[in-house]
């Protein structure tokens, strides 16, 4: 297998710890173990249960955990998917391992794979490494006729989708809510995607790591729920998710695959060849995070952060509207900004990093030049100072 460089990941891991202000992060300000356990005990009973969980953690034996995830953790995850049991869930090291295992298990050389773009480019890169024929299905910024320069949403084109998905399609990869745009598909569009996958007999891989990070309105429905509402559960639907984004717990490295029992058995078999299983402490803390009251409290924290911090970026974009325009994200702690300056996005990001010590993601990493991605879910002080430095650079660029 030959892997092309995963530009986004490599750029971030090279520079994120070497800059003054990191606005390349795509998740919510991570929680400490203390914050998580406090939140958990606050969500149940104060003090006494906090002390109890801390003591339990310290006394834990660091043996191997259950390789597909402990039953309590798989049950907590299964509770998110109507009709699912622990047998429908495989716990992985992050959503990235969940995506990798799925692709590795399903895709073979010359298979056709349709990938929604723009996207976190992992699935794209793995499909190419597996020598699949990869087809792009683009979300596009759409404006109204009264304000053609101000796009109001990143919209999918279903006609184009229907042309791309054929009886030869092996897998369709969707990211909803979407990274990097923050767009959320409507239920109707999700249903059309499921119907088309069923018609083609294709695997449908739905990466839902931003589910629960909506700025407004209800939690985005899972493809699991949409597919369950149709005639029969779709045997080839795979949902991946993790605690890294909407839950603010990326360091736990806990993700999962949800699917029909047979698919999950096969995932587990593949997982035996990758990392064996999740870390013992991680599995335990993830179980704490996903108990229903704690999960609610975590997602409440997420929404509070998003609602407080999006206006900071939104205000900055309006103040710089001669240079930048952005569709407001519906979910996720990231926004894609289109810019008018005549400079390539990688050059722009590198210049900002070198001259101002600020890291942002160039649109090139999403095959979307003349755009940048800014993460606004981290420390608010960092966001403000990073944006101030970006303003200084933009003034110089003219």
Ligand X SMILES: Cc1ncc(COP(=O)(O)O)c(C=O)c1O
Please give the residue ranges that form the binding site for ligand X (CB under 6 A). 26, 94-96, 120, 175, 179, 207, 209, 242, 244, 250, 255
Residue of minimal Cβ distance to ligand X:
94
> Least Å distance between CB 249 and ligand X?
9
Strand stretches in the chain, DSSP E: 21-22, 89-92, 112-117, 133-138, 140-142, 153-155, 169-175, 203-207, 237-242, 255-258, 324-326, 334-339, 358-359, 361-362, 371-375
CA nearest to 74, candidates 267, 204, 227 = 267
Q: Which is nearer to ligand X, 50 or 366 (CB)?
A: 366
Shortest Cβ distance from residue 282 to ligand X (Å)? 12
CB closer to ligand X out of 69 and 255:
255
Shortest approach of ligand X to residue 47 CB, angstroms?
Answer: 32
Q: 43 vs 254, which CB is nearer to ligand X?
A: 254
Q: Show Cβ contacts of residue 30 under 8 Å, excluding neighbours closer than 6 positions.
A: 248, 249, 250, 251
Give φ, ψ of 381 to 5 degrees: -60, -40
- Enter the DSSP assignment of 43: H
Nearer to ligand X, 41 or 93 (CB): 93
Tell the smallest beta-carbon distance from residue 323 to ligand X (Å).
26
Which of 9, 385 has the CB closer to ligand X? 9
CA dihedral angle for residue 359, residue 365, residue 367, residue 371, rounded to 10 degrees: -10
In 3D space, the residue among 389, 364, 308 whose CA is nearest the CA of residue 23 turns out to be 389
Provide the minimum distance between the beta carbon of 324 and ligand X in the complex, in angstroms, as a whole number.
22
Q: Which is nearer to ligand X, 166 or 275 (CB)?
A: 275
**Residue 244: CB minimum distance to ligand X, A:** 3
List, in sequence order, every residue forming a beta bridge with 115; answer none if it has no partner: 136, 173
């Amino acid at each position: 297998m030959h892997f092309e460089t995963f530009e986004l990941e490599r750029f971030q891991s090279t520079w994120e710890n070497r800059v003054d202000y990191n606005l390349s992060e795509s998740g919510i300000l991570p929680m400490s173990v203390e914050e998580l356990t406090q939140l958990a005990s606050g969500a149940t009973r104060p003090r006494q249960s906090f002390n109890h969980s801390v003591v339990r953690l310290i006394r834990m034996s660091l043996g191997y955990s259950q390789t597909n995830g402990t039953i309590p953790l798989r049950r907590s995850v299964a509770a998110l998917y109507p009709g699912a049991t622990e047998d429908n869930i495989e716990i992985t090291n992050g959503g990235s391992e969940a995506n990798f295992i799925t692709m590795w298990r399903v895709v073979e050389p010359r298979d056709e794979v349709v990938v929604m773009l723009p996207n976190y480019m992992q699935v794209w890169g793995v499909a190419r490494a597996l020598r699949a024929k990869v087809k792009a299905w683009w979300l596009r910024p759409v404006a109204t006729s009264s304000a053609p320069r101000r796009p109001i949403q990143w919209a999918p084109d279903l006609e184009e989708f229907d042309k791309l998905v054929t009886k030869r399609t092996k897998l369709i990869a969707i990211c909803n809510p979407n990274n990097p745009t923050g767009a959320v598909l409507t239920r109707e569009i999700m249903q059309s995607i499921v119907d088309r996958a069923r018609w083609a007999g294709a695997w449908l891989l739905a990466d839902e790591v931003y589910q629960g990070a909506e700025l407004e309105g209800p939690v985005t429905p899972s493809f699991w729920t949409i597919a369950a509402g149709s005639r029969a559960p779709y045997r080839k639907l795979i949902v991946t998710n993790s605690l890294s984004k909407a839950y603010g717990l990326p360091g736990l490295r806990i993700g999962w695959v949800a699917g029909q029992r047979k698919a999950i058995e096969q995932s587990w078999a593949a997982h035996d060849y990758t990392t064996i299983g999740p870390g013992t402490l991680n599995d335990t803390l993830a179980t704490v995070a996903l108990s229903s009251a704690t999960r609610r409290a975590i997602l409440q924290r997420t929404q509070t952060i998003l609602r407080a911090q999006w206006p900071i970026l939104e205000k900055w974009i309006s103040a710089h509207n001669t240079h930048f325009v952005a569709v407001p994200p519906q979910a996720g702690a990231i926004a894609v900004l289109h810019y008018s300056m005549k400079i390539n996005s990688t050059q722009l990001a590198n210049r900002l990093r070198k001259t101002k010590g600020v890291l942002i993601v160039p649109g090139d990493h999403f095959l979307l030049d003349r755009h940048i991605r800014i993460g606004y879910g981290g420390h608010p002080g960092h966001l403000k100072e990073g944006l101030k430095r970006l303003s200084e650079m933009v003034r110089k660029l003219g």
